[in-house]
Chain A
Amino acid sequence: MLTLIVVLPLVGFLLNGILATRLGGNVVGNRFVTVVGCGLPIASFALVVASCLTLAAGGYAPLVEVAYRWAQIGDGSFEVAFYFDRLAAVMALVVTGVGSVIHVYSVGYMKDDPSYGRFFAYLNVFLFFMLLLVLGRSLLVLFVGWEGVGLASYLLIGFWFDDLANARAGKKAFITNRVGDAGFLLGMFLLYTTFGTLDMDRINAAFGGTAPVVSASLVGLLLFIGATGKSAQIPLHVWLPDAMAGPTPVSALIHAATMVTAGVYLVARMAGVYVHAPEASAVIAVVGVATAFFAATIALVQTDIKKVLAYSTISQLGFMFLALGVGAYAVAIFHVVTHAFFKACLFLGAGSVIHALGGEQDVRRMGGLAKKIPLTFWTFAIATAAIAGLPPLAGFFSKDEILWFAFASTRGGTPWLWVVAAATALMTAFYMFRLLWLTFLGRSRMSAEVEHHVHESPWSMTGVLVVLAVLSAVGGFIAVPHFLEPQLALPAVHESLHAAETPLVVVSVVLALAGLAAAAFLFGGPSERVERLRARFAGVHRVLSAKYFVDELYARLIGRPLVWISDRVFLRLGDRALLDGTLHGMAALGRASGRVLARIQTGSLHLYAWLVLAGIAGALIWSSRHG
């Protein structure tokens, strides 16, 4: 059954990819694509639910299903096997559930696109690889899924590849991911040479017993480098904002709900290693909180609706890694689930807004949409409140747990981690409500003809928004950490700090409300307030708008030297001078020696006869000398 869960989207990819694209001659229409493209993921979801029931009935003993033996090398063999335990169940439910509703949303969003079939084919192949990733038993299968989702991401970011900027964004995403994968591969090599297996459950068990033969921190760091690339942490975060060039359902599914959480899943899955690696965990926590803070500051000044959400995603992923770094693996997964709900809702809502405005994405040209597209507005507002952490919505529960463990966990929780995280939470609330105000409330800044055409999206889109908004509201009550506790134990908390738990909750609620109030004050009122603020902090504003010039820094530090080396060393020196030069040189040598030898053929019989004479004399002298 597990294999079937994974294979159904693959079938959808093959059917749509061959029959509904130019490759197969476009032999089927959009209705077939919709039925196959949406039906198969929904079927997968149903099967996941059935597997959960089977799991529960079996006392939560992990289900293992070996699909196929890939290779047999000596004593070890590499199998394609699927593993279903509590963690995999949670992840698979999110992937197939949220994935299916986003597929349904795409029916309405991509209705008029000429490459409708190709889009669904790519979405299905993404789902296939993502399921390989979460259900795989060994790191190898996970890595196949890892690379596969990277490929799907590349294909979907550059979906409208006629525009070169989109293609470049897809390339940037893929290459940045690859840099992280180098660390991942090294980690895998290290694990394999040490343990002779890549099965994650076996590796976790191997670390649990006696003193490990390989440094857990080293392995942990190497795997984390891979997670950095996939989950857009510093310094490999640069691809995610550019990835917004893809269609909005793609941004929702891949770059908010599922693919970018693969790094979080990896670390959580390998928790058996990380509990023995305090140094690596400390690094993860610091990188996570730094990324969260850094991305939040950039999101404060962004003017593209999707870019704000992109930086918000990076920031929220930072929160998840913070939780992982202090040992609260189950809490990180909890945040993955709630984040999937409200971030998908936000992205799809943004997509609805863009659809309504006929393609406009700049918030400076929006405003006053609340009355015109009320359903989109209310779902967006609920999701915004959820991400800001207002109780009793989903974001409040998960974020609050993260903040608590950042403060009090015995595995690395310190007060200053909490301070930075809390500041980030404040900024999150602020910029999200800023987005809400600028987009939906206040006076309209749209052009007349755009305003005239504003309309609510079709039911395929708004229905999904409603579902996700409801989940964002009540999702917090799904006690995911409690469910995962038998497998991923929550870290112990300093005894002395127990008393601080309730005050910290109050503080975080206050911060969320403060962010809301500040946004309402600045953006709900006349625009001079914002202008004055911007004028006072003009330098800071410039740095933030330019994303701290990170892309420019990479271009100068890495890009330019590489291009220089490619041009000067490899092209001019290596290829042209050495390789071509050698070949041309040999040809020239042949030609020159031919020219020299041709001087003998003068046509003069005297010379020829003389050469005979010289030859005879020479031969005689040589033979008499050598006997």
Chain B
Amino acid sequence: MDRTQLLIGVAVALFSIGLVGVVVRRNVLVMLMCMELMLNGVNLSLITFAQQTATTVGAVVVFLVFVVATVEIALAIPIVLLLVRDRHTLDIGAYNELRG
């Protein structure tokens, strides 16, 4: 197993763990952090391929992912703040009003 495969494997594992974390954890902030983990996994795979082929496009996309992640957190945290101010709990089970 060469190092590219290792890194890709790690990236895949990080992404999957992040996705599962969203599924299994109850705390809202923990779910947000797991989503960050997913983005990190994606970044790792991009950088691996960028380094492998020595093109810059991988790095550019990684930079954009940074921006998007920042923006996402900048908005997600205030939303969570507002929600928690209302319900006084971080348990996501309390926020299931959009039922079918």
- In the complex, residue of chain A having the shortest beta-carbon distance to the beta carbon of B93: A604
- In the complex, residue of chain B having the shortest beta-carbon distance to the beta carbon of A607: B23
- In the complex, residue of chain A having the shortest beta-carbon distance to the beta carbon of B22: A609
B20 contacts chain A at the CB level, 8 A cutoff? yes
Chain B facing A: main interface SS: helix
- In the complex, residue of chain A having the shortest beta-carbon distance to the beta carbon of B19: A613
Interface residues on B, range: 10 to 19
Cβ distance A623 to chain B, nearest Cβ, rounded Å: 16
Interface residues on A, range: 10 to 19
Give the contacts of B1-52 with A (CB-CB under 8 A). 19-20, 22-24, 31
Cβ distance B83 to chain A, nearest Cβ, rounded Å: 12
Chain A hits for B19, CB < 8 A? 609, 612-613, 616
In contact, A606 and B92 (Cβ under 8 angstroms): yes
In contact, B98 and A601 (Cβ under 8 angstroms): yes
Chain A facing B: main interface SS: helix
In contact, B20 and A613 (Cβ under 8 angstroms): yes
B97 contacts chain A at the CB level, 8 A cutoff? yes
In contact, B93 and A609 (Cβ under 8 angstroms): no
- In the complex, residue of chain A having the shortest beta-carbon distance to the beta carbon of B31: A605
- In the complex, residue of chain B having the shortest beta-carbon distance to the beta carbon of A603: B96
Q: Give the residue of B23, B95, B99, B100 whose beta carbon is less than 8 angstroms from that of A609.
A: B23
In contact, B92 and A602 (Cβ under 8 angstroms): no
User: Bound complex: CA of A225 vs CA of B39, how far in Å?
Assistant: 91
A610 contacts chain B at the CB level, 8 A cutoff? yes
Chain B hits for A626, CB < 8 A? none
Cβ distance A599 to chain B, nearest Cβ, rounded Å: 7
User: Bound complex: CA of A613 vs CA of B17, how far in Å?
Assistant: 11
Q: Give the residue of A601, A610, A612 whose beta carbon is less than 8 angstroms from that of B100.
A: A601
- In the complex, residue of chain B having the shortest beta-carbon distance to the beta carbon of A600: B100
**How would residues 577 to 621 of chain A score, 1 for a CB under 8 Å from any chain B CB and 0 otherwise?**
000000000000000000000111111111001101100100000
In contact, A605 and B92 (Cβ under 8 angstroms): yes
- In the complex, residue of chain B having the shortest beta-carbon distance to the beta carbon of A613: B19
User: Bound complex: CA of A613 vs CA of B95, how far in Å?
Assistant: 21
Cβ distance A620 to chain B, nearest Cβ, rounded Å: 11
Q: Give the residue of A602, A610, A612, A616 whose beta carbon is less than 8 angstroms from that of B99.
A: A602
In contact, B99 and A603 (Cβ under 8 angstroms): yes
Chain B hits for A600, CB < 8 A? 100
Chain B hits for A613, CB < 8 A? 19-20, 23
Cβ distance B24 to chain A, nearest Cβ, rounded Å: 8
- B interface residues, Cβ below 8 angstroms from A: 19-20, 22-24, 31, 92-93, 95-100
